[in-house]
Amino acid sequence: MVSNNLFKSYIEAGKAFLQQPTPEQTLRTGAVSGDRPVIVPIRSIGPSHRERIATHLLALSESDRYLRFGFAASDEQIGRYVEKLNFERDEIFGIYNRKLQLIAMAHLAFSDDPEFQNGAEFGVSVMAKARGRGYGARLFDIAVMHARNDGVDMMFIHALSENTAMLNIARKAGAQVESAGSESEAFLKLPPANLDSHMTEMVEEQIAQTDYHFKVQAKKFHDFVAGLQDARRIS
Ligand SMILES: CC(C)(COP(=O)(O)OP(=O)(O)OC[C@H]1O[C@@H](n2cnc3c(N)ncnc32)[C@H](O)[C@@H]1OP(=O)(O)O)[C@@H](O)C(=O)NCCC(=O)NCCS
């Protein structure tokens, strides 16, 4: 049963999402940061966002590309990765800033291996300047919820053993981490979906869509005003 308290917290979260979180705030849904809960609007994104995904990944430094992909992916390899993203099978989640830059994204890749049918692999990246604000952990939470609702019972993360931040996120969620030298694999067993997980996903997606459209409108207005100012300067 979805409780009244849960609905109230969704409403509070809806009010909170219009406020930009500070790095000091705890960002996981429902967590109390200072005096109020904060939610980070995370959208499920589609093929029309390929260019933004590419821009985000190409901005990663060589060492970040190594951490993200397990090798120092070249620009061409990133281009091919983005081109081949399968938006029908997989799920891509993104966090946008007010300038509509994709500042963080996660790829939940559903297995097509018959022996690992109910499994999915998680990969994530956060722009260097937006790290340490809980975005990586939030993307993980959203991916877990989405995977559960899609019948996944095991989530898999491949990380380098030096990747403390990623392994922290996985361990905190209860994943079992197996390290072999420089490489680590984390396995997280997921509980079956329930009404709460379906409702939470639905409401969070709605909040994220609203937030995104709000940012689109705000950016259009900002560009319009900037255009007027330019025209005034020229005349
Ligand atoms: C891994 C990554 C996604 C983490 O993103 P983030 O938004 O900075 O992470 P969060 O702010 O949610 O922090 C998650 C946890 O890691 C810890 N952490 C963050 N940065 C850390 C660092 N540099 N060293 C040690 N721990 C760190 C946080 O304290 C937090 O732990 P806590 O919940 O116990 O406080 C980001 O560093 C990144 O994009 N790295 C490059 C790509 C990559 O490594 N991807 C993962 C492999 S798929």
Q: Give the tens place of pLDDT for each residue, 59-80.
A: 999 999 999 999 999 999 999 9
User: What pTM was computed for the model?
Assistant: 0.82
| Ligand 1 atom nearest residue 166's Cα | 1
| Ligand 1 atom nearest residue 64's Cα | 41
The CA 125 to ligand 1 mean position distance, Å, reads: 9
Task: Name all domains of the chain by residue range, CATH numbers in brackets.
Answer: 4-220 (3.40.630.30)
Cα-Cα end-to-end distance for the chain: 63
Q: Give the tens place of pLDDT for each residue, 29-61.
A: 433 333 334 568 898 999 999 999 999 999 999
Residue nearest to atom 10 of ligand 1 (CA): 134
Q: Give the tens place of pLDDT for each residue, 184-222.
A: 999 999 999 999 999 999 989 888 888 898 898 888 888
